[in-house]
Structure 1
Amino acid sequence: MTSTPRLSPLQVLACGALIVTLSMGIRHGFGLWLQPITQAQGWTRENFAFALAIQNLAWGFCGIFAGMAADRFGAFRVLVGGSVLYGLGLAGMALTTTPLAFALTTGVLIGAAQAGTTYAVIYGVIGRQIPAEKRSWAMGVAAAAGSFGQFLMVPVEGALIAQLGWQNALLVLGVAVLLIAPLAWGLREPGFAAGQAPKREQTIAQALREAFGYRSFQLLMAGYFVCGFQVVFIGVHMPSYLKDNGLSPQVASYALALIGLFNVVGTYMAGSLGQRMAKKHILAFIYFARAVVIAVFLWAPLSPTSVYIFSAVMGLLWLSTVPPTNATVAQIFGVAHLSMLGGFVFFSHQIGSFMGVWLGGVLYDQTGSYDVVWYISIALGVFAGLINLPVREAPIARGPSPAGASA
């Protein structure tokens, strides 16, 4: 990609971090609505879980095309469109009365909105606007902002439900999420004037053939599948798991908030360490550590104290996979198609998210317990740790591309 003027790094990080704080902060609290909505509507937990599973799948699938659009036309337009879809989806989540309509709004609309307002799009801007020697650190800052959003927004969402009722709380959030549009103004990239992307050495088709034919890209996608399975299962189903075991809803709210708070530290550390050590070792450690932490949580006596300790330690590992995974993709393939390639990796994450949240609901309804899914999460953590070890992080060797030769 030809060199273009860059935005101020402070401007990129400030606007990107605020957008991720709002977008990720709202979606991290969706588990708080599981019991209010299912009880009010007379639905099963599988009905709710299926809609959130569809949301994660739609987020991942639409993220591919949101990434392509951001690489082609710049992030600003994608972010504005995503914020409008997010507001409409939250309104639909509040007002729909059938499982099908709930799946279409909470699932498809909000999923598409998240694709256009979260990491793939923001990381594309960071990759293009932040120098390579600070890229992993900057991605860690953005991921930490998303974690702070969880710490900030989950208690706020719990308070809104308690004070306004679950429907009005969703409508308030639907208005608040529109703030993403003015924040996106600060991410208008100079190289995308008049909707025209800078010249690239590779076409989209060439970039995709190269990435999907490269073993390390496949391994990163497989590891990210596990990340999605674990975090979305825990984020959505842990509040109900705790209530089923006699703990109060406040414990669940504090637990999710603690995950967000400690993930601010974990994601920042992962991004910073990615500038100094092999990212594949960071990723392997995170996945192995998750397996150990979940096992200890299940085998220890359950109490508010054990929940808070689990949440704090898991928080350090929560989204800390995001900066090293995306920085590795940028390091291997460059930044010209980073939003699109990041979208494909994230799609794998969201297939895992679909499986985690959906299986949580299905197996609970069939067995009356979440135990099977907890143990699947442990096994997947070991698997993901092992497959990240062979990843090759060096920039891929390229010959002259057809596009470059003709130029």
Structure 2
Amino acid sequence: MWRSLRRPEVLATTLAGAGILMVTMGARQSLGLFVAPIDTTTGLGLVTISLALAIGQFTWGAIQPIAGAVADRYGPRAVLIGGILVMALGSAITPFMGSGFGLIVSLGLVSAIGSGAGSFSVLMGAAAARLPAHARGAASGVINAGGSFGQFVFAPILQQLIARLGWIGAMWAMAVMTLAAVPLVGRLTTPIATPVVHTHADQGLRHAIATAMKDRSYLLLHAGFFTCGFHIAFLVTHLPGEVNLCGLPAAVASWSLAIIGLANIFGSLYAGYCVSRYRSKYVLAAMYGSRVLLIAWYLTMPRTEWTFYAFAAGLGFTWLATVPPTAAIVGKLFGIRYLATLFGLTLLSHQIGGFFGAWLGGLTMTRFGDYGWMWYADMALAALAAVLNLPIREAPVVQTGTAG
């Protein structure tokens, strides 16, 4: 399968997409490290900060179909450059925000909008439009692995910067690091000599969305991805708090997040491999089912640093590895002409789950003093997601009607 990436133009496009996602997701997935320092400095409280990050989860998802639609219509270059610049701006202004409303603006809106515009929907759509069909599965795995590698790199670096410079200096440093993704946009969006042939009839964006929202398999995919967002947002926001509850050093949280990113590099590459060999719905069902078992294992183990590291490695293997098979199903159902938009809508469902995962985690901790009920909810939702993916069919949807 990896032979499909050997052509120089295919490899360059794939690595450019992976590099951009490394920066945008690496920075975004490390924001949980800032929760405790911001709370200590501002006294805003865990619930207020969790709400700002929860709104960021929702905003990141809400911007995906919008950014995808703009990229589908006008091209991805301006969308990606604008997203990176806006994300850097959100990080840069956060230290000046001393209220809950200010954090909602900087992290919940500005930074999340920028990160979302430079994330999965636009990147996957841009790559798919420039790659031959036989290379897309492998390329999606590599691009997805870029986001995981970013988490592996950013989490320990930012933890060290927080310790040495304080959270304000670390936030400004993150803004500067975000700008490193700008030069990669040109490589990803370079026009190709041989245009990709679209196998689905193009009846317009509105018609494509209307058709998708009536399709049972597409809606089941959304439901499963909702639970994935709940799971990831809860952990990325509150894992540092869980570590602190166990009386372990803050470094355990940053290294756990880094291990999640490292493990997901291999998980993403393996997911890309599986997409080309097995039905994507079975790949997704297996991933969600494994999370139920891992959380059950974690809840029965003593809370040591090695338990957290082993838990992080196990969860990390499927962390964002759900993206390639999910995008593959959307592409199989509706083609790649409007993949950025339709996959963006799926990501919106993911991030609605993310909103509840981040926000309810803060409420649960404040109300009960631990995250116990969140772990049980996480297990139940993961089991439900595994079941919901099984009836999905993976065949092109026959589109009828007029163009929209």
TM-score interval w.r.t. the shorter chain?
A: over 0.9
Match of 1:61 in 2: 62
Q: Within 1, Cα distance between the matches of 2:340 and 2:18?
A: 17
Within 5 Å, which residues of 2 pair with 1:315-326? 315-326=316-327
Q: Within 1, Cα distance between the matches of 2:385 and 2:402?
A: 36
In structure 1, give the amino acid aligned to 2:45: T
Q: Within 1, Cα distance between the matches of 2:318 and 2:176?
A: 31
Match of 2:242 in 1: 241
- 2:317 counterpart SS class: helix
Q: Within 2, Cα distance between the matches of 1:188 and 1:370?
A: 43
Answer yes or no: is the 8 Å Cα contact 1:49–1:361 preserved in 2.
Answer: yes
Deviates further, 178-187 or 42-51: 178-187
Answer yes or no: is the 8 Å Cα contact 1:7–1:189 preserved in 2.
Answer: no
Match of 1:288 in 2: 289
Within 5 Å, which residues of 2 pair with 1:124-143? 124-143=125-144
Match of 1:364 in 2: 365
Match of 1:310 in 2: 311
Match of 1:119 in 2: 120
- 1:165 counterpart SS class: helix
Deviates further, 367-376 or 130-139: 130-139
- TM-score between both structures, scaled by the size of structure 1: 0.94
Within 5 Å, which residues of 2 pair with 1:3-402? 8-190=9-191, 201-399=202-400, 402=402
Q: Within 2, Cα distance between the matches of 1:296 and 1:225?
A: 23
Aligned residues: 392
Deviates further, 343-352 or 172-181: 172-181
Deviation by residue 1:327-373 (Cα, 9 ceiling, x = unmatched): 11011100000000011000000000000000000111111111111
Instruction: Give unmatched runs, 5+ long, in structure 2.
Output: 1-6, 194-199
Answer yes or no: is the 8 Å Cα contact 1:200–1:336 preserved in 2.
Answer: no
Deviation by residue 1:297-330 (Cα, 9 ceiling, x = unmatched): 0121111111111111111111110100001101
1:403 positional shift = 4.2
In structure 2, give the amino acid aligned to 1:276: R
1:137 positional shift = 1.4
1:188 positional shift = 2.3
1:201 positional shift = 1.6
Q: Within 2, Cα distance between the matches of 1:97 and 1:267?
A: 38
1:7 positional shift = 9.5
Deviation by residue 1:37-70 (Cα, 9 ceiling, x = unmatched): 0010011111111011010111111111100011
Q: Within 2, Cα distance between the matches of 1:226 and 1:131?
A: 32
In structure 2, give the amino acid aligned to 1:23: T
Q: Within 1, Cα distance between the matches of 2:8 and 2:33?
A: 38
Deviation by residue 1:3-55 (Cα, 9 ceiling, x = unmatched): xxx99212211211110001111111111101000010011111111011010
In structure 1, give the amino acid aligned to 2:307: S
- 2:129 counterpart SS class: helix
- 1:336 counterpart SS class: coil
1:126 positional shift = 1.6
In structure 2, give the amino acid aligned to 1:306: T
Q: Within 1, Cα distance between the matches of 2:303 and 2:324?
A: 32
Q: Within 2, Cα distance between the matches of 1:54 and 1:333?
A: 30
1:187 positional shift = 2.2
Q: Within 1, Cα distance between the matches of 2:83 and 2:253?
A: 29
In structure 2, give the amino acid aligned to 1:229: F
Q: Within 2, Cα distance between the matches of 1:7 and 1:96?
A: 45
Deviates further, 381-390 or 172-181: 172-181
Answer yes or no: is the 8 Å Cα contact 2:15–2:142 preserved in 1.
Answer: no
Deviation by residue 1:168-212 (Cα, 9 ceiling, x = unmatched): 1111111221222221111224279xxxxxx97221111011100
Q: Within 2, Cα distance between the matches of 1:237 and 1:191?
A: 43
Percentage of matched positions with identical amino acids: 38
Answer yes or no: is the 8 Å Cα contact 2:211–2:399 preserved in 1.
Answer: no
- 1:402 counterpart SS class: coil
Q: Within 1, Cα distance between the matches of 2:402 and 2:379?
A: 46
Answer yes or no: is the 8 Å Cα contact 2:81–2:185 preserved in 1.
Answer: yes
- 1:129 counterpart SS class: coil
Q: Within 2, Cα distance between the matches of 1:267 and 1:10?
A: 17
Match of 2:4 in 1: none
Instruction: Give the aligned CA root-mean-square deviation in angstroms.
Output: 1.7
In structure 2, give the amino acid aligned to 1:285: A
Q: Within 2, Cα distance between the matches of 1:18 and 1:200?
A: 32
